[in-house]
Chains A and B, each alone.
Chain A
């Protein structure tokens, strides 16, 4: 089966610009996650969707970050405006259910903010 797809793989922008990342989860997976992984740290959950509803966005900086999951399938994560500290790898993951099921991760998008 196809894995979790993400694009772009790399993005370089200047601070105060906006950027968007796209994720296509594994077919049939109800739950989708966006993680931020700063260099030298473990991934940190930004937002969790169950179908197209938000389950947990407690660690999403809502003044600059937004995310949506249209029709309960694909998802986009946007940053506007970007700050230097947003430089990180943004990982998308999906799982069959919103339980302790295995989460399958995409390759990530590496964002560099100059």
Chain B
């Protein structure tokens, strides 16, 4: 069964500092990986996704993530964070595209808190 582990429940960081949010997954089949962001009292919004191709994926708001198959990781990074990046971040894995997929398995979330 597929699973996702987000290694940090909370990450405090100062404004303009770099940040990395860690995500590891387990899967026995081809994986499709996602990062979603959830601002307070809002639904989830897609930041970026990896389906195939280049292992370095760029998303919205200056975020990027690197797919590492050997380490089964998909860590999210941003070189310089802003106060507005304060939110909950979820890593997710989806079943393969050739079955009836679309089902997302989410990690437990990482709360990013950006301090001035």
Contact = CB atoms under 8 A, between A and B. Distances in A.
A108 B36 CA distance: 15
A67 interface: no
Interface stretch (B12-20, B41-49, B65-73, B78-86): B41-49
Contacts of B112: none
**Category for how many chain B residues contact A:** 20 to 34
Interface of A: 4, 31, 33, 40-45, 48, 50, 55-56, 91, 93, 95, 97-108
B49 A41 contact: no
A61 B4 CA distance: 22
Contacts of A95: 102
Interface in B37-81: 41-46, 49, 51
Nearest to A30: B102
Q: Which interface residue of A33, A48, A98, A103 has the most chain B CB atoms within 10 A?
A: A103
B28 interface: no
B106 A44 contact: yes
A99 B101 CA distance: 5
A108 B43 contact: yes
B106 A43 contact: yes
A101 B43 contact: no
